[in-house]
Structure 1
Amino acid sequence: MNIFMAVIMGGLFLSSCTEKIDIDLGTTYTRLVVSGNITPQLGNQYIRLTKSADYFSNQPPPDVTGATVMVDDGSFSVQFIEDTNNIGYYFAPSNYIGVSGTTYDLSIKLAQPINGTVNYSANETMPILADNIDSIVVELNEKASRWMVRLYAWEPPSTDFYMFNGMRNGTIITDSVSRLNISDDRLYNGNYTAGAVVLMLYEDELQPGDTFTLILSNITEEYANFLLELQDEIRPNDPMFSGP
């Protein structure tokens, strides 16, 4: 009986075939896409405006130029000015920094309507980073050919979501979404992290004598979920067991 079943199953596998299926995703109306960065550190605080594009357009998203972009923290309203060398990027004054715990209101007025709409608005509160950081250690795992960045810190008892970035000699090296580490605090909530690995780097990304800086950001749950879903979309998947 076992031999008979094996022959039948073998025949089924041999007679199977594949068929190419072209999925027509169609098209939809154009939307305004807003991304940006406001932190409690001096640096490039910016808002980027683009238009959405079809999934298989294989073209960079069209930039949105000529808009009026304002950010209000409840006390002051600041205009973000478009960089003429980087169309679609709107930068704050060089001395502008965010303040943790502050709610920011974003208002955008387009020069040309997108899908009949000119005015857009949103608001968000910058999370408070309450971690008591002791130190970090960067060590080479020769077997994995990776640098392991370990964090020693007391994590607060609140529910928090984190984004980890790395800098080498003042230049960020985790400069794409796929390189970010996004994490919640379920494993260490209210406890000492005791050298938890929060970032991994390729062996050739650091050399003896380099200065490494870990950037720890407290982010909202919504932003964490967005980044995790984006990472899931762009990473390689097994076509047999992954979704479309």
Structure 2
Amino acid sequence: MKKLLLLLALSFSLFHCTDPVDLPSRFEEPELVVEAWLTNKSEPQTILLTESQDYYANRLPTPVTGAQVIVCETVDATPTSNCFVFEDEGEGRYVWTPAPGETIGEVGTEFGLGVQRGEEQYTSVTTMNRTAIIDSISFQFEEASIGNDEGIYAQLYARDQVGIGDAYLIRTRINDTLLLRPFELSSVYDATFDPGTETDGITFIFPIRFSINKLDDDGAPIPLVEGDKVEVEVWSLSQEAFFFLNVAGDQIVNGGSGLFDIPVVSSPGNVFNVDSGERALGVFNVAAIAAAERTLEE
């Protein structure tokens, strides 16, 4: 009995240990981080350049200014004369502004990114892939269930393109507010969440259709009310961008610091240092967008 009590006491002390433990992050020098999420919309396109920082640094990333940034159409990774110069607007923002009605390109076009920062050069190549086909946004009444309150919720009816390997990102605005928390963004692969399901050319599965609703801080969907406007965009993703977002999302919601949390790693991107050939931080994607909107009326 004494041994049992001792074991229980030891277990209690282990589960109630609150002493902080600082682990070395092995951070050495800041690296360039490239956030190049471009689209085929006729609106200013922005590339963000910042520096990486120590995992324990509690501050915003340092912006990179004074760089030269250009995007060109390419053929077999060789630039053509059709290029877009991104102007330095400060705070790490590099912007290309199209003329009225102008877009950066069409589905199937290959693009190359070039970044010159001092003596360092970085490059990436991607293709604007096709996006999904949106049919409609529907509003449906749902009875109360586990995790859901009774009310009216939105669903996105969109269909995957025929052919294995299409990847998408779903972004939602409700009453002009963009839902940007990690669990409010949905990445889609051939109408489901992951590759390998062998689904193709079908309507997005129910959890993805339902994912366009606003969520509370506990991740529960919030019913719509009369007058709510729902806007949805489906962005096409390259394979590299899809996996980048999935790893980044897992890392962002990985903050429990528990025994079974996944290790902290950088998301693998598709930007490379020209001289060393090493992979830089960040990703370059040019998306085609399908969009729809609907307002809940009486």
- Pairwise TM-score range, normalised by the shorter structure: 0.7 to 0.9
Q: Which has the higher contact order (CA 8 A, sep 6+)?
A: 2
Q: Cα 1:225–1:201, aligned 2, differ >3 Å: closer, same or farther?
A: same
- Equivalent residues in 2 for 1:120-159, closer than 5 Å: 120-129=122-131, 131-139=132-140, 141=142, 143=144, 144-145=148-149, 148-155=153-160, 156-159=162-165
**What's the CA shift for 1:27?**
2.1
Partner of 2:10: 15
Whether contact under 8 Å (1:177, 1:227) holds in the other structure is: no
Aligned partner (choices 155, 177, 197) of residue 210 of structure 2: 197
Please provide the CA RMSD for this pair.
2.8
Partner of 2:296: none
Matched residue count: 230
Q: Cα 1:107–1:10, aligned 2, differ >3 Å: closer, same or farther?
A: same
**What's the CA shift for 1:229?**
1.4
- Equivalent residues in 2 for 1:88-237, closer than 5 Å: 88-95=92-99, 96-98=102-104, 99-110=106-117, 113=118, 117-129=119-131, 131-139=132-140, 141=142, 143=144, 144-145=148-149, 148-155=153-160, 156-169=162-175, 171-185=176-190, 187=192, 188-193=199-204, 196-202=209-215, 206-235=224-253, 236-237=255-256
**What's the CA shift for 1:148?**
4.2
Percent of paired sites with the same residue: 24
Distance 1:79 1:50 in 2: 18
> Could you tell me the TM-score, scaled by structure 2's length?
0.67
Structure 1 gaps of 5+ residues are none
Q: Cα 1:44–1:141, aligned 2, differ >3 Å: closer, same or farther?
A: farther
> Could you tell me the TM-score, scaled by structure 1's length?
0.80
Structure 2 gaps of 5+ residues are 75-79, 193-198, 216-220, 264-298
Q: Cα 1:172–1:218, aligned 2, differ >3 Å: closer, same or farther?
A: farther
